[in-house]
Amino acid sequence: MIRYLDEFRDQERVKRLVDEIIEIQFPEKVNIMEVCGTHTMSIRRFGIHKLVESKVNLISGPGCPVCVTPVSYMDMAIWLSQRDDVIITTFGDMVKVPGTRGSLQDLGRDVRVVYSPIESIGIAEQNPYKKVVFLAVGFETTVPTIAATVAEAKKRGLDNFFILEGNKIMPPPLRILLDDRDMHIDGFLLPGHVCTVSGYVQYGFIASEYGKTAVVSGFEPVDILLAISEILRLIKKREPSVKNMYPRAVRPEGNRKAMELVYDVFETTDAEWRGLGTISGSGLVLREPYREFSAERHFEIPDFDSHEHPLCICGEVLKGKAVPEECELFARGCTPDHPVGPCMVSSEGTCAAHYRYRNPS
């Protein structure tokens, strides 16, 4: 049993795992997609993609919630931020995400970065003559805190707090990727943070319906290599399954109380994903008892002619059909200081990971 951080980065353990992976014989490289931005960052940071590249092609998928947020959402957020009576509260990554004509950093009037959604309630109480709108973006990891914030706002009887609904859940887009005939995914690294909250039972369809293997993984080098090794072993044995290699944090059912709170406040709906289009049942909107806190319902938000930068290939990167280096803007017109697309903005973005840990020229 590994217990301490340095053991998860132990070079001898890493070497043994890499050797085990390389010894497994396949006629061609195995395609494994990670669907968590933190995995993407760890893989690049520790050079795991290079250690296993003779056997495995590691593909980054739609695992960054900021990145999959569509331009239309940002255009709504920017429009709201330009109202004199509105204060926007948001997690920091969203401030630089470009909309059609700019970002919140460029165009917003009163935009405040918060570390937790609950801070927005304090801001609303301190500014009774303003309307506070929190940008509710994120996967299952962050939704419980947003649900708790909405429930608290209702308890306090706040009439000047709202959320701009943009939360998403992870299983539906994996179906879209598996149904795509142009994609050749042999296995998935499932998102450890998400599964801590939602559990991993809901991913059983990957094995039962598609005959593929998926493994829940932690984020340290030994975690990721153990998961890759297990995926390869199961593929070799032709035993498709969904397994948990992150038991110190993840249970099959996840955090039941957190998920009960989520579905007390929210219900599923169709949602637009950057690069993937509209996916049935992949988004979360407020249930009727809490719909008074919906910014879209409260404000008369106009329709926008939303569109991305014509040279940005973020959508293709999110589908795993392109890598950042294939974009003509990468590391030239598009950098973390001057991002053109959200994949370069977010701390979990694939382009940001490739840029930060790219080979020096």
170 in Cβ contact with 39 (< 8 Å): no
Q: Do residue 93 and residue 225 come from a single domain?
A: no
* Domains contained in the chain, number: 3
Q: Are residues 89 and 161 both part of a single domain?
A: yes
Query: Where among 225, 244, 263 does a domain terminate?
Result: 244
Residues 142 and 288 in one domain: yes
Residue 347: the pLDDT is 85
Tell me, what DSSP letter sits at residue 294?
B
Residue 53 sits in the same domain as residue 76: no
Are 165 and 92 in the same domain? yes
Question: Same structural domain for residues 142 and 38?
Answer: no
Verify that 221 and 194 share a domain, yes or no.
Answer: yes
Task: Judge if 238 and 259 occupy the same domain.
Answer: no
Angle between helices 11-23 and 221-236 (to 10 degrees): 20
Same domain (yes/no): 28, 163: no
**Residue 210 confidence (pLDDT):** 97
Backbone angles phi, psi at 151, to 5 degrees: -60, -40
**Which domain covers residue 176, as residue numbers?**
21-65+171-244
* pLDDT score for 361: 44
Nearest one of 4, 96, 44, 30 to 358, comparing CA atoms: 44
Residue 276: name the closest of 314, 305, 239 by CA: 314
Q: Which residues of the chain have pLDDT under 50?
A: 361
Burial (CB < 10 A; 0-12, 13-18, 19+), residue 361, is exposed
| Same-domain pairing of 152 and 268 | yes
Structural domain contains residue 10 = no
In this structure, the answer to whether residues 223 and 238 fall within a common structural domain is: yes
Shared domain check, 330 and 198: no
Task: Give the per-residue pLDDT at 4.
Answer: 64
Q: Please state, in angstroms and rounded to a whole number, the distance separating the CA atoms of residues 196 and 253.
A: 9
Whole-Å CA distances, 151 to 124, 155, 163, 259:
15, 6, 12, 14
